[in-house]
């Protein structure tokens, strides 16, 4: 039975996706318009739907959670601006001297859209690149020292292990009849009682991992062979160049047109 072909975006080198998205993310954080974030969000959604596996959780995050996030951040930032001093404009609502103006809401919406655009752009490499492939690409293509790259990867793999071990500790405590009391204090007591066994397990696991890496000669040589190469192909360069050209075109179009003031 033939395996299902991977979407085209997952076949792009992870380092190429970082190079393609970082410049526009930096510019979004520094810009102040609402049109550019909207355009970037629209293009990113098209790229994600055409080149990534869109699971139910991902669709829910992009189309349900993200709009709620934008509304919440825009409202909160608008209120915070008023607390710092309302901007000039038409007053929408207020209590006494405390007022929220239309300019406050517009500024809050612009800030929320910029943050949302950065998050959606970050989903392009995030949805289509595994941490393992990203570390391999950084080590093989960007010449990041393997001691730094693979040590960080090992540290990331501690997280799911700690989650499983915490579940085992809490299950063992329930089997032994340990009573944590009633919520919400029960959650704090359970966390405190699980800290020592979880820390002991973490130390044991760290010792086993360090001995395993020493036994395999990790870091003994400046160069090392790779079981799974992640090449930077000409098609990856084409992807980076096209993404940068598209980003530059959007920035210039917003800057030189009257709509860029929005």
- Summarize pLDDT for 176-233 with one digit per residue, the tens: 877 766 777 777 777 788 888 888 888 888 888 888 877 877 766 666 777 788 889 9
pLDDT mean across residues, the chain = 83
- Indicate the domain borders of the chain: 9-136+232-261, 145-215
State yes or no: pLDDT of 43 exceeds 50.
Answer: yes
Reading phi first (left if > 0) and then psi (alpha if -120 to 50, else beta), residue 96 is in left
Among candidates 196, 216, 221, 202, which has minimal Cα distance to 157?
Answer: 202
Q: Quick check: pTM over 0.85?
A: no
Please tell me which residue, 256 or 20, carries the higher pLDDT value. 20
Mean pLDDT of 59-78: 91
- pLDDT at residue 203 in the model: 87
Cα separation, 36 vs 114, whole angstroms? 8
Contact 120, 40 (CB under 8 A): yes
Dig out the tokens for 120 from the structure.
Answer: 């959606």
152 half-sphere exposure, CB direction, 13 A CA radius? 13
CA angle 18, 23, 233 (to 5 degrees): 40
Q: Round to the nearest angstrom and report the end-to-end CA distance of the chain.
A: 53
- pLDDT at residue 98 in the model: 61
State yes or no: pLDDT of 89 exceeds 70.
Answer: no
The helix-helix angle for 234-256 and 14-30 (nearest 10°) equals 10
């Amino acid at each position: 039975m033939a395996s299902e072909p991977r979407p085209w975006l997952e076949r792009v080198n992870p380092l190429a996706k970082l190079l393609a998205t970082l410049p526009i993310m930096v510019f979004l954080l520094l810009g102040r318009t609402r049109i550019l974030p909207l355009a970037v969000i629209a293009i990113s959604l098209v790229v994600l739907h055409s080149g990534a596996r869109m699971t139910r959780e991902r669709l829910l995050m992009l189309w349900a959670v993200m709009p709620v996030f934008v509304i919440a951040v825009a409202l909160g930032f608008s209120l915070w601006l008023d607390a710092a001093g309302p901007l000039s404009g038409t007053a929408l609502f207020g209590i006494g001297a405390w007022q929220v103006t239309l300019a406050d809401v517009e500024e809050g919406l612009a800030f929320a859209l910029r943050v949302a655009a950065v998050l959606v752009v970050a989903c392009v490499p995030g949805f289509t690149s595994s941490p393992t492939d990203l570390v391999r690409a950084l080590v093989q293509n960007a010449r990041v020292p393997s001691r730094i790259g693979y040590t960080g990867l090992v540290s990331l793999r501690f997280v799911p292990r700690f989650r499983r071990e915490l579940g085992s500790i809490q299950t063992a405590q329930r089997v032994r009849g340990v009573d944590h009391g009633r919520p919400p204090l029960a959650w704090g007591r359970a966390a405190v009682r699980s800290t020592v066994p979880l820390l002991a397990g973490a130390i044991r696991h760290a010792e086993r991992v360090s001995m395993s890496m020493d036994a395999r000669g990790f870091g003994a040589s400046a160069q090392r062979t790779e079981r799974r190469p992640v090449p930077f192909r000409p098609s990856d360069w084409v992807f980076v160049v096209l993404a940068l050209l598209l980003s530059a075109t959007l920035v210039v179009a917003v800057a030189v047109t009257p709509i860029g003031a929005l």
